[in-house]
Structure 1
């Protein structure tokens, strides 16, 4: 996994942590997510005329992934409303690689070596330790974060299978990604149904910032979808979830969250897991 593909997945992890830090740092996270989704779905719509259609076999996966992502968006906002970035993010991201590995084995007949499985376990254990060592996780926050993690695992498995059926090229992976991101337009629709059109108002500078955050999200997950054509889903997912390391640093630098020995120890466990996955 320590190839060009692995390096790009690590870049995706950094990008992912960045837009999540932006979302968590906002005053109204639901509104911010809504504007991010405008950016995501808008970028997808603009890209579609330049991309080939995915193969017919991939369409059920595109639809399923798009709908699961809508649920993910709502669970993520809920998780951030009930916990710090350094708590909600690690639990949500840390619970997914093990679920992805299990799901890939059951539904995609993937097999990982013992060392790869150990790496996935270490990454997941380190990420969860990163959250739990704070001792500030409420049952409500834990539930929201784990539901977020479950949707992450579900859409990752769906996309890992779907992109391999889309055509097997970079262009068809990009097309699969774009069609899936069109479904993100449902999040603004749900927002308007709940709060009304007037609630979309926000300063132009903030709107631009969150739309740009949405574009970063498209790039981050687009890389992951492309990578799953070439690597095992569990391994790609585990590498992607090293974004927690970046999230911890961003939380410390920009959100003034605590960074102590416990977090550093968890980071070492995660790095050991990444080395095992890449061997």
Structure 2
């Protein structure tokens, strides 16, 4: 984990939390994700002619990732609809890093050394603390929790699939472009079929906000995919989920959700974990 890779992933984390906040802010989740995914398709189509075409060995991973991303979006929409942003987002993201560590060891033959493992563990403890604080003083919404945790499983799965796929592709930008095109078609197509003649009227009021979310989404994941070609998957996954702290802060500032001292302490654990991962790098 070089300083450049670390900076790229931290920037991606801020962008990721921001586009998720935009998706949560748009009341109709299908409208929000339709705009974000359509914007991703347009960006991918613009980028594709100007970058290398992914190598043949990357395409099975691109197809698998497309399926996993579709499940991720459906589950994320569900968790945002059922729960608070400051609750759903940390749970969805916080369950992923440890699963990525296990899957990366099994499928990418990446076993973190002592410093990296300690950093991943501390980061996960911090992320879990942020997520659990959202349950304080309220009755758990088990449907929302289940949707968020299932979202986390999808995140861990596509993280490893894309980490292997982008390395096989020979082009991080090309892989990103084609992934955006492939994953972004299904839900907008369903939405247009469902809305029919009302599509434009539904999308127009929040089109600018949704397209901003699309740009942030593509940039965030493109940076992560680039980083995965230069460092192990597990530390990147743990570092990327620092977006949880940003998400919790956004929830407190813009959605008037509680932050509190425990979340500040959890953020401290996350920062300590990042420091150990940098030491390992």
Q: TM-score, normalised by structure 1?
A: 0.94
Q: CA deviation at 1:207?
A: 0.7
| Structure 1 residue 198 displacement after superposition | 2.0
More displaced stretch, 148-157 vs 263-272? 263-272
Asked if the contact 1:97–1:234 (Cα under 8 Å) also holds between the matched residues in 2, the reply is: yes
Residue in 1 that maps onto 2:48: 48
Structure 2 CA distance for partners of 1:268 and 1:32, relative to 1, 3 Å: same
The aligned runs of 1:194-209 (5 Å cut-off) are 194-196=194-196, 198-199=198-199, 201-202=201-202, 204-209=204-209
1:94 and 1:123 in contact (8 A); partners too: no
Partner of 1:174: 173
The answer as to 2:150 corresponding to 1:151 is no
1:267 corresponds to: 267
User: Any stretches of 5+ residues in structure 2 without a counterpart?
Assistant: none
Alignment match, 1:185: 185
d(CA) in 2 for partners of 1:147, 1:64: 17
**Cα 1:57–1:246 shift into 2, 3 Å:** same
Change (3 A) 1:68 1:203: closer
For the 8 Å contact 2:130–2:245, the answer to whether it is kept is: no
Is the contact made by 1:66 and 1:182 (CA closer than 8 Å) also made in structure 2? no
Q: What is the TM-score when the length of structure 2 is the normalising length?
A: 0.93
CA 1:52–1:270: 2 relative to 1, 3 Å = same
Equivalent-residue separation in structure 2 for 1:34 and 1:80 (angstroms): 15
Let me know the Cα RMSD of the aligned residues. 1.5
Report what 1:160 is aligned to.
163
The answer for the alignment partner of 2:26 in structure 1 is: 26
Q: Determine the structure 2 residue equivalent to 1:220.
A: 220
Cα distance, 1:125–1:190 mapped onto 2, change above 3 Å: farther
**Runs of 5+ unmatched residues, structure 1:** none
Residues in 2 aligned to 1:199 and 1:178: alpha-carbon distance in whole angstroms: 25
Deviations 1:197-235 (A, max 9, x none): 525533635112101211110000000001000111001
Q: Are 1:244 and 2:280 counterparts? A: no
1:132-172 CA distances to partner (integer Å, 9 max, x unpaired)?
123243110111001110110111000100111111xxxx1
Contact residue 31 and residue 200 of structure 1 kept, 8 A: no
* Number of residue equivalences: 275
Contact kept, 8 Å, 2:10 with 2:242, in 1: the verdict is yes
Alpha carbons 2:9, 2:223 under 8 Å: kept:
yes
